[in-house]
Chain A
Amino acid sequence: MSARVGIVVFPGTNCELDVAWAVERFGGTPETLWHADAELRGADAVVVPGGFAHGDYLRTGAIARFSPVMEAVARFAAAGGPVVGICNGFQVLTEAGLLPGALQKNAGLSFLCETVRCRVETRRSALTALAEPGRMLHLPINHFEGNYVCDETTLRRLRTDDRVVLRYVRNPNGSLDDIAGICSEQRNVVGLMPHPERAAEPLLGSTDGAVLLRSLLATASERAAVA
């Protein structure tokens, strides 16, 4: 059965069509969820895509976390549902408290738009279930606030619990411990700055995002089958 992937759209989100296209390409069924919707309409997985939710006013993700849909996303996540935040979506998930830490302005204050090499650090997450640890992925980044920070205790826990999902090979933004992506304690909520949906077809220059999206769809299908 095709996994239904709910794609959250806030005013200012701009990567929802790319994500929907990629989800469809790998056999999933994308479903757009408007930020004012209070429910997820039977989604087996949720993606919070990139963009500038609510104009990034105040702080990236700060206003978005109060959208009605986020309560439904939080309930879904608490019940073990796979939730992935990409770029601005990662920022939204940290503001919403679904992932620890925060994303700061890039060191050097440069807006980054380039393809970077990332290393898969663990298989134990909704986004990396099919990826071997150590595998290198070429993924595009496109952000001004991708500089991950958290306190020492949180960092220690992320490391000892094997919750750093992706690391940059060459740190582009000053991110703590080269972190490009992390997951929640239950490993079902994942946030990452790189855009796997933009590396999902040879024409785009890389297909390395495919293994991540396939992992998400596999996790979602598995969950749908059990439910």
Chain B
Amino acid sequence: MRYEARIEITHLPGIADPQGTTVERSLPALGYDNVLQVRVGKSIRLVIDAPDEDAARAQIDEMCHRLLANPVIEAYAIELTELAAAT
């Protein structure tokens, strides 16, 4: 099966997010006074071939742990969508 994965990488709670903080300060400067919080993360999309969803998830989880995210400062969430079989 083929799956598309969207991996969202965010800062762990308690870890400073200098980009988020800077954007949070910039938006009110443009007049958007009602923005209360901004966090900036990273989004990775990949397509993977795997026997089933669990296998795909397990493998991507390992990839996140080993390379795509830094577990010391980052958290990640994986969202999988099954792609239609290639014709």
Chain B residue with the shortest CB-CB distance to A145: B18
The interface residues of chain A lying within 8 Å CB-to-CB of B19 are 105, 109
Q: Does B35 reach chain A (CB closer than 8 Å)?
A: no
Please report the C-alpha to C-alpha distance between residue A95 and residue B70 in the assembled complex, in whole angstroms: 8
- For the complex formed, measure the closest distance between the CB of A148 and the CB atoms of chain B, giving whole angstroms: 11
- Contact of B22 (CB < 8 Å), options: A62, A109, A150: A109
Residues of chain B with a CB closer than 8 A to A95's CB: 70
* Among B18, B68, B72, contact of A101 (Cβ-Cβ < 8 Å): B72
Asked whether B68 lies within 8 Å of A102 as measured between CB atoms, the reply is no
Considering the complex, give the chain B residue whose CB is closest to the CB of A106: B18
Contact of B86 with A by CB under 8 A: no
Q: Which residues of B contact A174 (CB under 8 A)?
A: 16, 18
Closest to A154 in B: B72
Q: How far is the CA of A52 from the CA of B51 in the complex (A)?
A: 38
B67 touches A (CB below 8 Å): yes
Count of CB-CB pairs between chains A and B under 8 Å: 38
The answer for the CA separation of A94 and B18 in the assembled complex, in Å, is 19
A72 proximal to B (CB < 8 A): no
B68 near A58 (CB under 8 angstroms)?
A: yes
Question: Taking the complex as formed, is A149 at the interface, i.e. its CB lies under 8 A from any CB of chain B?
Answer: yes
Residue B15, interface by CB 8 Å: yes
A66 to B70 alpha-carbon distance, docked (Å): 14
Does B73 belong to the interface (CB within 8 Å)?
Answer: yes
Looking at the assembled complex, report how far the CB atom of B45 sits from the nearest CB atom of chain A, in whole angstroms: 14
Contact A107/B16 with A101-B72, A149-B73 known, Cβ cut-off 8 Å = yes
Evaluate contact between A104 and B15: CB separation under 8 angstroms: yes
Q: Within 8 Å of chain B (Cβ to Cβ): is A123?
A: no
Q: How many residues of A contact B (CB 8 A)?
A: 20
CB-CB under 8 A from B70, the residues of chain A are 59, 62, 95, 102
Q: Say how far A94's CB is from chain B's closest CB, in angstroms.
A: 8
Partner pick for B18 among A66, A100, A108, CB 8 A cutoff:
A108
| B15 contacts A149, C-beta separation under 8 Å | yes
> Shortest distance in angstroms between B60's beta carbon and chain A's nearest beta carbon?
15
Residues in B neighbouring A102, C-beta threshold 8 A = 70, 72-73
A13, CB-defined interface residue at 8 Å: no
A171 CA to B67 CA in the complex, in Å? 30
**Contact residues in A for B72 (Cβ distance below 8 Å):** 94, 100-102, 149-151
Any B CB within 8 A of the CB of A147? yes
Q: How far is the CA of A102 from the CA of B74 in the complex (A)?
A: 10
Q: Is there contact, CB below 8 Å, between A107 and B18?
A: yes
Give complex CA distance A147, B72 in Å.
Answer: 14
- Beyond A105-B19, A107-B18, A174-B16, 17 additional pairs, beta carbon < 8 A: A58-B67, A58-B68, A59-B70, A62-B67, A62-B70, A66-B67, A94-B72, A100-B72, A102-B72, A107-B16, A107-B21, A108-B18, A109-B18, A109-B19, A109-B22, A147-B16, A150-B72
4 tightest CB-CB pairs across the interface, nearest first?
Answer: A102-B72, A105-B18, A102-B73, A109-B22
